[in-house]
Each structure stands twice: as structure tokens, then as C-alpha cells.
Structure 1
């Protein structure tokens, strides 16, 4: 076995297609669109190359056939905010062979170490954490769009190599055919009618306004997250453009106090319910099939990508107020039967409490691992910092 850095068009194709062998007998797997993977490693398409770098490797067997892959990357805006310079590894796929897996891990580690990194987190994305983030360890059902899926045996590879649990990510499922707890709706109705508060769903006609409102909320609400990086308007515009073909304006909501944006709730129909038929390709025929399947309303669940409330307005029931208005929308779309609330880290107890309050049940668990290159330092367990339960006090202090 040997590793090779991905450079040629043939190697790029092999990097994409190696999943066919690994998941050939796995009915739950949904191959991501090839173009999504390629854009991650395209400096013209991925803004993270403005402050970082990435590389891809293939693992070949003795017959020169690809049997695994991995990527390594450095996000310079975050790498130096930890106890040690920390890079990332991801897009790991491998046959069920520990030696093969370790060769891929070594390739990522060596590339990062040569560039001054002393640790690596993985599997993560060279981009935002709403896609391709974390190792699936429980709940091996069909993944929602952007959610990481992998064979169960990967967990043994990561932990045997020396990766340690840095944080856990829980995804819960909400059955929209079951009523919410009555106490929740009482709070929601009260908030929804409070003077000064109002709620609006996203519209393309006013997309620039909503982009600016999102940034104002995000940069305030996420300031206490570990290694917070402010959101950029161009990043949002690109994400919206990519989702335009399948998104539903009425499923994205914003909360306001008078004219001040104070919260948002972003979810998309689960386009994986369509893409599972496309084998990673969005050619002309599949574009026609996409329109047809969308018309047939085969997307019966949504994925909640992100939700946030500005610190000053937290613990005021704003989330409940958003659900109060969202309920009316969902009632008009009876084909939507399930909402996937993904993913909430164990460093975010407030959001986990919200999942419990609406009656969501466990669906999946992912782990984001950290591997320290120095064996002595590896004995010191590192965990992601928890977000304070009451960030209002942090703002006012």
C-alpha cells in the first residue's frame, strides 16, 4: 500500500469514486454531489483558501487500485486559537483495514506537522461546520443533506490511532405528526403576542436585508463559542444560492424586537431524499428528475441547520415564538412529517434543553476528535469549552 497526493484529473475522480467500493452494500448511504466535494478543494470556490490551505491523499493497494482517501487542511483563523496550533483532517474513507486507515492518518498528520501544526481535529470540513463534520458513532440511518455518514468500524480506527473525544454532537428528530407539549405552546403563544416582538419568514425579494440581519444576530449570539469567527455576507450569499433550488422561504424565520433582529431559525427540506438516486451526479437527466421528484413532494423531512438568539433576548421564549409561527406553515404542508434538529454539541446545553422541551427524540450522535502529535501532551485530555448557560450576564459584564 502507498499514498499519493491528489493532483491529476484522474486522481480527483478516484478520490470521489472510492466511496463506491466502501458503501456498495450500504443502503443507508447517500453519496454527496461530486461538485460539492470538488468545491471544497477549489481555491476559487472556497473562501477558506484566503486564510488557509488544503491537500488530498489517496491510498492505493498493491494493484494500484484506490482503497481509501483523506484530506488535511489548515484554517489559519482558528489554528492558533487553541492550546497548540491545530489543523484539520476530513473526507476520510477507508476499507475495513486498520493498517490502511493508519497510513491515511499518518499522511494527514505529516502534512500538518510539516506546516507547524501540533494537533489535528477530525473528521471535519475545510469550511463551516454545517457540512461534513464529525464521525457518526450512533444512529446509522439515512443521513440528511450535509450530515456526515460513515461505516461503524471507523470509530475503532480513530480511537486506536489515538484520537480523543473533543466534543459530541447530538442530532434529534421531531415527529411533526405528534402534538408538541402543551406547556410549550402556552409559552409560544404568549411570546408571539408580546408587544414589540414580531416574526417574519425569509423571502428572496428581501434576501439582502435578511443576510445582514443574519450576520448581526450570528456575530452577537456566537461570540462565546470557542474560536468564534465572524460571519461574512459573501459566505451567506453563496450558501443561499446553492440551496435555492430546494429551499422553502416559509421554513426560514427571523425574530425582531421593534426594528432589531434578535433571532433566526434556518431549516431546509432534506434534499438527500432526492439525491440518493443520483449517485453524486447532477447532469441534465438528473436535473429533470430533480424537478419531477420535488414536484412529487418526496422530501418529507427538513433539517434544521442553525438556530440562534442574541444574548440580550435569551431566556425570553423567542425560540418558542418562532415555532408558534412555523406551526401554521407546516400545517399547510402535510407532506412534511419530520424535522431533524442537527447537530448540537455537548458544549451547548441551552440548545439541548430546547430539543427536550419540544419533545424531540434521539436520532444520531457524532464525535469530533482531536489528536495531539506529542505523545506526552496526549495524556492531557482536551475538551471543547462549554457555552455559558446565561450569556446575557457575559454581555453585561
Structure 2
């Protein structure tokens, strides 16, 4: 088998195009935006090149046909119990021998750089995009989410990968009945005239960035693998989201003027991007604006939900959920709600998802492979 290092324009294009051919008959496949993938491998765009190194490879058969691809990387920010590298952006024909060859190549590359294990498929960057192998719920992916055929699980597990942690997505129908206890919470909290709920407003983006930062840092940053946000970081994030913010679906709760809870949601961009075939040039941006205006988006995505510690378990969550739900049921066309994935190692967040009366809609897995077969395998520790 021929191995090609992805460095030329031709090989870069093939790295992007191969999955589209591979999944040409799969109605659920949505081609990711080319620029989102290319930015991962651009040192000027991806800050993680400061902490590691990354290479991409194509694999061709005797007929010079592409049969697989992979990215292999080391990220010193990715601290594990043993030196662990990463693999991602793996695609392969349904052939175990081909997959084994690709995995062996990645293993050798990582071993030469002192690694003792490899995790995958993961991203050379944050966990919010291109992380995990889909193993349940084979339907259209959310924006930034990996998608693969069911046979990929067999390719990984036959090679010897084991599940390091499961990634659970939770969802529900927007118009399904809301739990009676939520309505009771709403009724009780509504009697407190100091408590109000407000939807996010783009014209006051700086204020809501401040309020988000305050709630997030109190609710999540001290928990597990959470990290502090600065107000400037949040404002940059909000400005990035500004073109697709729907003011009806993100909600904040206040005690007087003090922010005490927030529920951040956005439309699923893939409901529009699936018509752009991975491109986002000037023409596609114009098309996106037209689609956004005239094509109803029926799926919203939950990004973050949080209540500051002093107000947890007091009914504020139910109050916010019912206040927001009543509003966006009347003002939007959304029919489905799905949350970004939650690791099974994070029972606190899983519990919150379950209290929203959601069900598991899809499951992805982060796999690990120890180069020393005698080394004891342990799943991700519980937070």
C-alpha cells in the first residue's frame, strides 16, 4: 500500500474529498465545511501547534485509488497517565487489513516520538469538534460532529482499541410534555418577584457575555475538567456566534440584576450547511444567508446549561426551562432539541441532561490503544 504525506494542494484536496465519495450513498452524511477541517491543520489558525505536532496521510491501493486517510498528532496539553498521542479524521473502506495498515502506521509514527498509547478518533484541538466515533444513532450529525459508517466500530475494536469513555448526546422533542415538577418549580419561583428570566439580546451582547461568564465560572469552572472563561473570551465567542444567534432560545435568570442561571442554545448549522457541499466561499455565504432566511431550521442545539451553586436544587432550573420553552414554542419553528455530547465520566452533567427529560439520541466513543499489550486498561476516571 502506498502512503502519501498530505502536503501538496492535490493531497489536501483528496483528504477532504475522499469521505464524500466513501459516503456518497449514505443519506445521513453531511460534508463538513472544508475550512473547518483545514483550519485544524493550519499552524496560523490552530494554537495547538504551539504544544505539539501533527501530520496527515493518505493511503492508496495498487490501482492508485484512495482507500483510507488519517491524521496523527501529539498534543502536550493532552495530559494522560502515560504519554498518549492522538489519531483523528480517520476514514477507511470496509476492509480490516487496510484499517490495520493505517493504524500500524499511526502507531509507528507515535512510538518514534515517545508515545505509549493512542486515543482516537479525536481532534488536534478542543473537544467541541471532530471528537469520537459514532457507535449508536446513525442519523445526520450536528455541526462539528464526526460521522462514520457502523463498520468503523468493528475496524477499531478488531485492531484492539478499547472504549476509554462514551460520549452521550441527549435530546427531546420541543413540543413533548414538560415534566410536572418543572411546571411546579416555575410556579413556585415565579412568586419571588426578585427573580426574572430574560432571553439573550444581540443588541446587548456585551452585557450577556458578562452574565454568561459570571454564571459559567461559578457553575462549571471549578468542576472536573472545567476551565475559567474571561469576559473577553466570552465576548469573542458571542461575536463569532452573532450571525446565527436566535434571540428566542437562549435564556438567563436573574436575582434582581445578578445573573444566577443560563441556558445557551443555537440552531443546528448543519441543517443549512448540508446544502453547501463543504464550501463556504462568497457564493456559499450568500446562499447560506438565503437558506437562513427562507428555509426553516427545525433543530436547536444545547451548548451550555448552568446554575450558580447557591441557587442549585432550588427550582431555578425548572423555572428557566419552562419559561424558555413556553416562549420558543410560540416564536420558533424548532421541533427537535439535542445537546452536544457529555462524557459518561461526568455524572453531574449527565444527571442535569436527564432532569431535562431527555433521552440518549446518539452515542460516540473515544477509544484508546496501549502499545504495550500487557499494560492494564482503565477507563476515564469519574469526575
Q: Return the TM-score normalized by structure 2.
A: 0.90
CA positional deviation for 1:124? 1.4
The two structures, once aligned, show a CA RMSD in angstroms of: 2.5
Correspondence list, 1:65-84, <5 A: 65-79=65-79, 82-84=80-82
Q: Which moved more, 1:229-238 or 1:66-75?
A: 229-238
Aligned to 1:321: 319
Separation in 1, partners of 2:278, 2:70: 18
Matched, 1:382 2:357: no
Separation in 2, partners of 1:93, 1:232: 37
Tell me the matched-pair count. Answer: 383
User: Residues 43 and 11 from structure 1, CA distance in 2 versus in 1: closer, same or farther, beyond 3 angstroms?
Assistant: same
User: Residues 276 and 71 from structure 1, CA distance in 2 versus in 1: closer, same or farther, beyond 3 angstroms?
Assistant: same
Tell me if structure 1 keeps the 8 A contact 2:182–2:319.
Answer: no
Separation in 2, partners of 1:199, 1:136: 36
User: Residues 245 and 15 from structure 1, CA distance in 2 versus in 1: closer, same or farther, beyond 3 angstroms?
Assistant: same
User: Residues 196 and 97 from structure 1, CA distance in 2 versus in 1: closer, same or farther, beyond 3 angstroms?
Assistant: same
Separation in 2, partners of 1:22, 1:230: 40
Structure 1 residues 342-376: Cα deviation after superposition (integer angstroms, max 9, x where no partner): 31221222333333333323311111111222211
Structure 1 residues 71-108: Cα deviation after superposition (integer angstroms, max 9, x where no partner): 123332232xx211222221111111112212222233
Selected match of 1:272 from 270, 273, 292: 270
Selected match of 2:174 from 168, 173, 176: 176
Selected match of 1:132 from 130, 133, 142: 130
Q: Secondary structure at the match of 1:115?
A: coil
User: Residues 229 and 123 from structure 1, CA distance in 2 versus in 1: closer, same or farther, beyond 3 angstroms?
Assistant: farther
User: Residues 102 and 307 from structure 1, CA distance in 2 versus in 1: closer, same or farther, beyond 3 angstroms?
Assistant: farther
User: Residues 50 and 249 from structure 1, CA distance in 2 versus in 1: closer, same or farther, beyond 3 angstroms?
Assistant: farther
Q: Which moved more, 1:118-127 or 1:153-162?
A: 118-127
Tell me if structure 2 keeps the 8 A contact 1:78–1:227.
Answer: no
Selected match of 1:252 from 211, 227, 250: 250
Matched, 1:289 2:287: yes
Tell me if structure 2 keeps the 8 A contact 1:172–1:364.
Answer: yes
Structure 1 residues 163-222: Cα deviation after superposition (integer angstroms, max 9, x where no partner): 111111221221112221212221134335546544433333343444344444444444
Q: Which moved more, 1:254-263 or 1:5-14?
A: 254-263
Structure 1: runs of 5 or more not aligned: 388-397
Selected match of 1:148 from 146, 157, 174: 146
Q: Secondary structure at the match of 2:107?
A: helix
User: Residues 116 and 33 from structure 1, CA distance in 2 versus in 1: closer, same or farther, beyond 3 angstroms?
Assistant: same
Aligned to 1:44: 44
Separation in 2, partners of 1:363, 1:294: 25
Separation in 2, partners of 1:69, 1:84: 26
Matched, 1:351 2:349: yes
Correspondence list, 1:96-107, <5 A: 96-107=94-105
Tell me if structure 2 keeps the 8 A contact 1:189–1:324.
Answer: no
Separation in 1, partners of 2:59, 2:354: 43
Aligned to 2:16: 16
Separation in 1, partners of 2:232, 2:96: 41
Tell me if structure 1 keeps the 8 A contact 2:179–2:357.
Answer: yes
Q: Which moved more, 1:259-268 or 1:133-142?
A: 259-268
Selected match of 1:368 from 366, 369, 382: 366
Structure 1 residues 7-50: Cα deviation after superposition (integer angstroms, max 9, x where no partner): 11111111101112210110010001101111111122222223
Tell me if structure 2 keeps the 8 A contact 1:184–1:357.
Answer: no
Tell me if structure 2 keeps the 8 A contact 1:57–1:69.
Answer: yes
Q: Return the TM-score normalized by structure 1.
A: 0.87
Structure 2: runs of 5 or more not aligned: none
